[in-house]
Amino acid sequence: MDTKVKTWLGVVVIIILVTTVGVIAWKIVKFKQIANAPAPAQIQAPNQVAEKQKVETASQKTYANDQYNFKLQVPQNFQWNVQDQSAEGLYDINFSTDKTAESSMDLNINSNDWVKKIKNPGVEIKAYVSNSGFGANNADATLTSWAEENTKDSQTIYFYNLEVKDSSKTKVSGAIWLVAGKMFDLRNIKNDDQELLKNMALGFSVNNQTADWQTYRNEKYGFEFQYPKEWISEKWDTSPDQIVGISTKKEHDLNENLLTNKVAQDSPISAIDVEYNETLLDNSEVKAMGAKDLESFVKNYKKYKDLPNLPWNPEKINFAGENGWLTSFYGQNNIFVVHNNHLFSFLFNESAYWERGKQEMPEIVNNFISTFKFIN
């Protein structure tokens, strides 16, 4: 065979061998890459996603409480039992599974006066939890953990864990939050289900009581506030300092009768009465007392009236961005505040109990305070 032909054939064979080896090597590498690649994420069809959400929703139900105006999301298999002790400032709800009660949560609502006076929630609530008694023997407990979490509604929830100092060594987990002068204390008393505790605490919501309320606005005196939709606002000329009186329908009808028939009465009755003085010293009682400032007037009012048994109880509050004073006596509340050197006085009369009920009047005061604002 000619030498050139042999050389040419050799080159061709070498090329074929190199190509074949290269192809084999490439396939081996590709196979390894495929084998080691992560499995692609499974894409859920829209109906699959909707079905999953439906199942999750179905696992929860809503507990609604009209007396304290809140809702709570609880597991579907939970039932509840209410122990109403509102006269003592306590209201207790036990949530547990239908039959075995293997999982149980206890919600205590505390509306005693000391709760309304809490100024530093983190410190005072922690002290309250640390000093709580448990069991039949009211045993002490050790606080083992404490955490604070803010919700999307700017509500702070305080989560805690305790171990009871007795032979049982029972572990208690709980969550506490404050709403409108009430303390809600949710405790896990059957097992240590932290996830359930957190889900129920975060599933708490307050109904908007003022959603259908009317708005009273006064451009002359520079303020506005909201009041119940079925109430009536009007000005009674018998009170020279009065700006407006907000009355229930029953009070309105009574006032009309008093004025029409000239029945002996100091002045008509309003559930909420708003009064104004150009300055603090323009108020007749302040002037008669010789008080120099709002604090001295409020604190010495009881002595000035010579009523030693009057439960006046003055309390300093923040009212529409100003330092105000809240007083309470015989079912009646007063608020005094100075704004732009003008004295504003607000009377919340116990006559509102006629139609609203004794438990509801404090809520009206709280909602009035929360909706009132100065507009100049």
Whose tokens are 């396939």? That residue is 27
Residues in Cβ contact with 105 at an 8 Å cutoff, skipping those fewer than 6 apart: 74, 78, 94, 95, 96, 186, 187, 188, 189, 196, 197, 200
Q: Name the residue among 335, 363, 330, 364 with its Cα closest to residue 347.
A: 335
* Distance from C-alpha of 272 to C-alpha of 251, rounded to nearest angstrom: 11
Grouping H, G, I as helix, E, B as strand and the rest as coil, residue 238 is: coil
Here the tokens at position 183 are 């303390």
Which of 161-175, 209-223, 236-250, 270-284 has the largest mean confidence?
Answer: 209-223
* Distance from C-alpha of 86 to C-alpha of 106, rounded to nearest angstrom: 16
Q: How far is CA 83 from CA 68, 74, 75, 357, in A?
A: 13, 18, 20, 19
For 196-208, what is each residue's pLDDT tens digit? 899 899 989 887 7
Contact yes or no for 320/340 (Cβ under 8 A): no
pLDDT bracket for residue 160 (50, 70, 90)? very high
Predicted pLDDT at 340: 92
Give every strand in the sheet of 156-164, ordered side by side.
Answer: 78-85, 90-97, 104-110, 182-188, 171-179, 156-164, 141-150
* Distance from C-alpha of 278 to C-alpha of 286, rounded to nearest angstrom: 13
Mean pLDDT, range 355-373, rounded to an integer: 66
pLDDT bracket for residue 254 (50, 70, 90)? low
Here the tokens at position 131 are 């000093």
* Distance from C-alpha of 263 to C-alpha of 373, rounded to nearest angstrom: 36
Mean pLDDT, range 155-183, rounded to an integer: 85
* Distance from C-alpha of 95 to C-alpha of 196, rounded to nearest angstrom: 12
Residues in Cβ contact with 304 at an 8 Å cutoff, skipping those fewer than 6 apart: 285, 288, 289
C-beta neighbour count of 300 within 10 angstroms: 15
Residue scoring higher pLDDT (179 or 189): 179
Predicted pLDDT at 344: 94
For 286-338, what is each residue's pLDDT tens digit? 888 888 899 988 888 877 777 767 677 788 888 888 989 988 766 677 899 99
Residue scoring higher pLDDT (373 or 266): 373
- Average pLDDT of the chain? 75
DSSP letter for 182, please.
Answer: E
Q: Name the residue among 168, 174, 202 with its Cα closest to residue 189.
A: 174
Predicted pLDDT at 258: 54
Predicted pLDDT at 44: 42
Predicted pLDDT at 220: 92
